[in-house]
Structure 1
Amino acid sequence: MFSLPLELLFHVFEKEYYTSSGTPNYKHLKACALVCRSWSGPAQSLLFRSAIELSNHNIHTFHAALLSSAARGKALGNCVRILAMSISRTSDKSFGPMTVATLLQACPHVYELALSLYGINIEEEETLEKLKVAGQRLKALTLVHHGTQSPILFHLLRIWPNIQFLKVGSRIRTLPWRTTPSPPSERNTEDAGELRQRNGAEVCLYDLVLSIFPAPKVLSWLLASSADSLRILELRQLPCLTERNILARHAPQLRSLRLWCYNDDSVALLRMCTALEELVLYGLEPSPCRPLVPNLPPTIEHFAFGIRDYHSCISLQPIISAVDAHPNLKVLTFNKDPRQRFQGCEILEAKCRMKGVEVVISSVPCWVYEEPIIVDRFPRARSVSNFTAMS
């Protein structure tokens, strides 16, 4: 084992890269890195793939490791594919928005950036210009937290038009510019790029996750260029009529839809999704207020669900009926908490065997992290090799 080629060692280590909850197995990788010198390189390259939980107290240490030596530090920086950092306002003037640009420069192959900003805006043109250059390879952006009035999303999507995967964790209440037409005298002085930006975001999103719906004008702006590209949509809040009207032009092209619960609003949106291949219901009620059949699109190939009930014995009859009614179904993912008791498990498994449907019963929640990749088929495979595909 100690004399195995580096490529083979790497593939052995990457098989154990993820824990059962979908996070990098840092404990395992650190142990491998300490075994011997030949193991250290491949293990450390995987350790640095996901640089997460960076914040005020450890970002400088992380950056120092990248600068430890010209050769080794550069090699480690080149390994990083995911950066996740939380930045708070501090009296330390060396720590702020420019830190993001500095780390992106030190990690030139990052394709996914996650930011939590507390009391900080990124709007100075000098900072934005450095971020623009440093983040040219970015494909995925997550804004975990930012102020509801902050223009950060608008600035970042302007300088990074190649973003295809976007997650927004906070509500955005308003556009950062007035929506009434500018007088001709002002219009002539406005930059052409800024005018295009006002008409709508130039990003062509493939995958969008919204924890809370933004204001309708913001949602329309965000999706302006994504009518032909949006394929995966995840909503933690169900859309009312206004939001459904905005999503109507995108729904027929969606391949995957992930919803926090199932009710009349869910059904209204599902009826517009005529080409859906995957449906994930994070919190299906024990007895849905609306039946699953005939409300689920017949095109579904992967149906995943979890049921929010830990006290009563839950009947799986609605799921059995859905399996029976969907001829294209190939995979059924069942999120089961150890505390839950279900009636009809044997019937469900027998029905799936008869129809050739794979059943995946797991205690891992449906909402574990998945790499931002273009999907061939659902469910998405979790593999370190996806890092290489995106870089």
Structure 2
Amino acid sequence: MHVPEELICLILAQVYRENPFFPPDYSTLLSCALVNSQWRGPAQTLLFRRVTLEAASAFGQFADTTKNRALLTHVRTLAIALESPVTTLVSILGHCPQLYELSISARGLFSLGPQGISRIAAVVRDASISVRSLHLIDASVQSPVLYELLDLFPTVEFLFLGVEIASAPPASAPASFHLYELTLQRTPSSEVLAWLLSTSGTSLRILELRDLPSPNTYLDLATCCPHLQSLRLMRYNSHSGAILRQCTNLLELVLLNVPMFTALRELPLTLEHFEVAIQTYTASVDLGLVISAVNSLPRLRILTFIGDSEQIPLLQSTCDAKHVTLHATPRKLWIKDDPIKTTRFPRRQSVSNFYLMNSRT
């Protein structure tokens, strides 16, 4: 029986992304790849899409020996722990010309060093690699590895910093990248933040702050804020409010919990998507702020509420009266989006996003 390839892709997409917060069902994908030649290609595309931190070393050995080089062109995301020398990273980069996203743990390596930088630069040049998304998930606070990586991959547009950065930016190497999205798990110093945004004042569209901003952060972001389309705040205080008030063209606002001790002043009237993720399990939460937002925002299309189900009926009636779509779920999880550009929020989580992750475009 012939099954249209479009239907096969839909089936495999469900297997791959049944829950975006958990690993794909690789066992089922592997079985699908063995069905016949019609199923093999779409299944292999998903099987080889992501190389995890735990599998990086074994994958490097596989990449060095396999005769089926086409499989390696499916790799879009690589997570790897850097060690000295950087042989494994260099080897994998040389085999994966379509690499889009690079996730780095540099706990055991302070610096790439001149020789490591030279080797990586050579393979990036020879394989024409254009990494668009960079995650630095672990590193010494004094390490210069962030600046070294950004110098090696000036095509980065999506940057996630999971560590505190205390080392000063290189005075001799100005930023050459243009960020579209910046996620900060720790708010860096004004000096570091100014360097990161020095060439992204008008290109940054999505900003996520997981730490409390400092009193000067809103000044550091002053150039970027009018161009932001999405602001995600895990913690809210008066300094967060100062940042929000500068975002005059915001389309999406995401908050972790409803502010209880700091007033959330007038929201930008441009908002089309408002998301609130309630993480409190015991204390009752006053949703008056959320209801007020639905009633006051003229362009609001979607309200996303992550919280207890008994609070949903009140929100539903408010949204119905304003013709606003309510997306509600009790799962208390923070958003995790694919690193793709968009003009409409929220970004849809779909395997179709993978086709946009092409480093050549």
* Residue pairs, 1:204-283, within 5 angstroms: 204-283=178-257
Task: Tell whether the 8 Å contact from 2:85 to 2:116 is kept in structure 1 after alignment.
Answer: no
Instruction: State the distance in 1 between where 2:215 and 2:62 align.
Output: 51
Amino acid at match of 1:260: M
1:117-170: CA deviation from partner (whole Å, max 9, x where unpaired): 122134333322332344431111000001111111111111211111101111
Instruction: State the distance in 1 between where 2:236 and 2:192 align.
Output: 25
1:324-367: CA deviation from partner (whole Å, max 9, x where unpaired): 1111111111112xxx4644x32321121121211111234453
Instruction: State the distance in 1 between where 2:331 and 2:280 align.
Output: 16
* Offset, 1:36: 4.7
* Residue pairs, 1:38-77, within 5 angstroms: 38-54=38-54, 58-70=55-67, 72=68, 74-77=69-72
1:191-239: CA deviation from partner (whole Å, max 9, x where unpaired): xxxx3x2xx3111111001111222211111111011101110011122
Task: Tell whether the 8 Å contact from 1:315 to 1:342 is kept in structure 2 after alignment.
Answer: no
1:16–1:243 distance in 2 versus 1, CA, 3 Å:
same
Secondary structure of residue in 1 paired with 2:355: helix
| Percentage of matched positions with identical amino acids | 37
Aligned length: 353
Instruction: State the distance in 2 between where 1:4 and 1:249 align.
Output: 52
Does 2:346 correspond to 1:379?
yes
Unaligned 5+ segments in structure 2 are: none
Does 2:328 correspond to 1:361?
yes
* Equivalence for 1:150: 143
Amino acid at match of 1:81: R
1:355–1:212 distance in 2 versus 1, CA, 3 Å:
same
Could you tell me which of 141, 159, 165 is aligned with 2:134?
141
* Equivalence for 1:186: none
* Equivalence for 1:187: none
Does 2:29 correspond to 1:29?
yes
* Equivalence for 1:303: 274
Does 2:202 correspond to 1:203?
no
Instruction: State the distance in 1 between where 2:92 and 2:217 align.
Output: 37
Task: Tell whether the 8 Å contact from 2:309 to 2:329 is kept in structure 1 after alignment.
Answer: no
* Equivalence for 2:318: 351
Amino acid at match of 1:77: L
1:72-109: CA deviation from partner (whole Å, max 9, x where unpaired): 2x11110010111234x5xxxxx742311211111110
Does 2:52 correspond to 1:81?
no
Instruction: State the distance in 1 between where 2:218 and 2:94 align.
Output: 40
Instruction: State the distance in 1 between where 2:185 and 2:251 align.
Output: 22
1:160-197: CA deviation from partner (whole Å, max 9, x where unpaired): 111111011111112155x6xxxxxxxxxxxxxxx3x2
* Residue pairs, 1:159-170, within 5 angstroms: 159-170=152-163
Task: Tell whether the 8 Å contact from 2:15 to 2:25 is kept in structure 1 after alignment.
Answer: no
Instruction: State the distance in 1 between where 2:167 and 2:300 align.
Output: 41
Secondary structure of residue in 2 paired with 1:315: coil
Could you tell me which of 88, 91, 101 is aligned with 1:99?
88
Q: Which has the larger radius of gyration?
A: 1
1:302–1:63 distance in 2 versus 1, CA, 3 Å:
same
Amino acid at match of 1:385: S
1:235-272: CA deviation from partner (whole Å, max 9, x where unpaired): 11122222221111111111000001222222111111
Alignment root-mean-square deviation, CA:
2.2
Task: Tell whether the 8 Å contact from 1:97 to 1:121 is kept in structure 2 after alignment.
Answer: no
Does 2:105 correspond to 1:110?
no
* Equivalence for 1:289: 261
* Offset, 1:38: 4.0
1:319–1:41 distance in 2 versus 1, CA, 3 Å:
same
Task: Tell whether the 8 Å contact from 1:122 to 1:128 is kept in structure 2 after alignment.
Answer: no
Amino acid at match of 2:342: V
TM-score by length of 1: 0.83
TM-score by length of 2: 0.90
Instruction: State the distance in 2 between where 1:351 and 1:133 align.
Output: 58
